[in-house]
Amino acid sequence: MKLPIKKKCFDQIKSGKKKIEYRDAHITFVCEETGETIRKDISRIELHCKDILKLDGLSDQEISEMFEDKTIVAFHLK
């Protein structure tokens, strides 16, 4: 996940002084094919281990290709 951040906050994170980053509780999704956008509020967030993640219709190989990290963030949408 790549998030833009002001230099002052970036430097604080880099130096280890800032341990928590706050963001709005919504995600704006953009359709890759059409450019259409939709904004969804987030009601809950969970962390999952990619090794036990099961997504309908996706093989373990496809899941490995989708996610770079071992820990995955699950956003529950309203």
CA distance 41 to 75: 9
> C-alpha angle 57/61/67, rounded to 5°?
90
CA distance 60 to 50: 9
**pTM metric for this prediction:** 0.73
Looking at residue 1, its pLDDT comes to 81
Contact 67, 50 (CB under 8 A): yes
Mean pLDDT by 10 residues, the chain (78 residues): 92 96 95 97 94 83 90 95
- What residues does each domain of the chain span? 7-77
Looking at residue 73, its pLDDT comes to 94
Looking at residue 57, its pLDDT comes to 83
Amino acid (1-letter code) at residue 75: F
Contact 73, 1 (CB under 8 A): yes
